[in-house]
Structures are given as C-alpha cells and as structure tokens.
Amino acid sequence: MKHVLLASLFALGTTAAHAADEQQVDKELSPWVTSSLQAGNAGFDSWTLTTGYHYPLMEQVNVFVATEVTLAAKDSASRGLLSGIEYNFGDILSIKGEVQAQKENSSTEGIIGMSTQLSITEDMNLEAALDYAFTEDADNTTQYKLGVGVKF
C-alpha cells in the first residue's frame, strides 16, 4: 500500500512538472524536448518513461514526436513511437490527439488516443484521456484515464 501511494504521488508530481514546462515554453514559441516518468500505469508495479520533441506550428498549435518505454514486474517490457498534435485554448484548456505504434514481445499494437487538460488553479489541473488500442489478432481494447496534476 505504501509503494502504491508513493508511486501515485511521484506520478502526479512528474505529470504536473511536465505540464508546467510545456506551458512555459508554449509562450516562447520555440521547439522543446520533454520527458516524463509515470508509475503504476500498466499495473501497480510498472514504470513508463516518455521522451519527446515538441514543435510549435502556430501560437496555439504544437506537433510532437516521442518515444515511450514501459517496464512492468509481471509483464514484459514494451516500447513505442508516437506522434500527434496539440491545440491550446489559452492557458486553461488544451486538447491533444496522438497515434502510437507499440511493440511488446513479437506483437505490434496500434493506439489512437485523445486527451485534454484543464487548469483549475495555477498549481492544479484535471487530465482526462481516452485510448483505443488495436492489435494484429483483433484483440481491441479501450482505456479511460482521469487524473489530477499538482505542481510543486
């Protein structure tokens, strides 16, 4: 239980720090590199590391590419490549769509996702995501995520 709580707090902190970095750089309109680390995404004992490059097309529109590696204690590791577009409605609301190809063992999985982030206060935001994953053997899944980000 203690590990789950610590992992959750760590994931919230890294997500919030990642969001704070994005908002600061958005105002400068220059390309930037991002990275994030999430704990407990695919189970209670898993880690996901995402590193990417964002490039602003216009004042409110960014395109991005990223790589992602997931390590889980009971499952094997997976790795993937993703790209997408992000639209910012001022400093309060952003919407992001992405396409990802992920390889786990010998199977390849495609993921189409959409997420949104709503700033409640300067130090807190709500995040929601919907991912649809499809595989070669037609074993399709849908994953919903809802979270709170806190900036320290």
Residue 8 confidence (pLDDT) above 50: no
* Per-residue pLDDT tens digits for 35-59: 655 555 555 567 778 889 989 999 8
Average pLDDT over residues 54-81: 85
Distance between first and last Cα of the chain: 23
| Residue 67 and residue 51 in contact, taking contact as beta carbons nearer than 8 Å | yes
* Per-residue pLDDT tens digits for 17-33: 444 444 444 445 666 66
**79 falls in which pLDDT band (50, 70, 90)?**
confident
Range of weakest confidence among 65-79, 80-94, 127-141 = 65-79
Range of weakest confidence among 56-70, 84-98, 100-114 = 100-114
Residue 74 confidence (pLDDT) above 50: yes
Domains of the chain: 2-150 (2.40.160)
Which CA distances in Å does 86 have to 26, 78, 97?
11, 25, 6
CA angle 146, 150, 152 (to 5 degrees): 160
What pLDDT shows up at residue 145? 87
**149 falls in which pLDDT band (50, 70, 90)?**
confident
Q: What is the DSSP string of 35-101?
A: EEEEESSSSTTEEEEEEEEEEESSSSEEEEEEEEEEEESSS--EEEEEEEEEEEETTTEEEEEEEEE
- Dist. CA 134–CA 89, nearest whole Å: 30
Q: Which two tokens stand for residue 34?
A: 């991002």
* Per-residue pLDDT tens digits for 105-125: 778 889 999 999 999 998 899
Strand partners, 39: 47
- Does the predicted model carry a pTM greater than 0.75? no
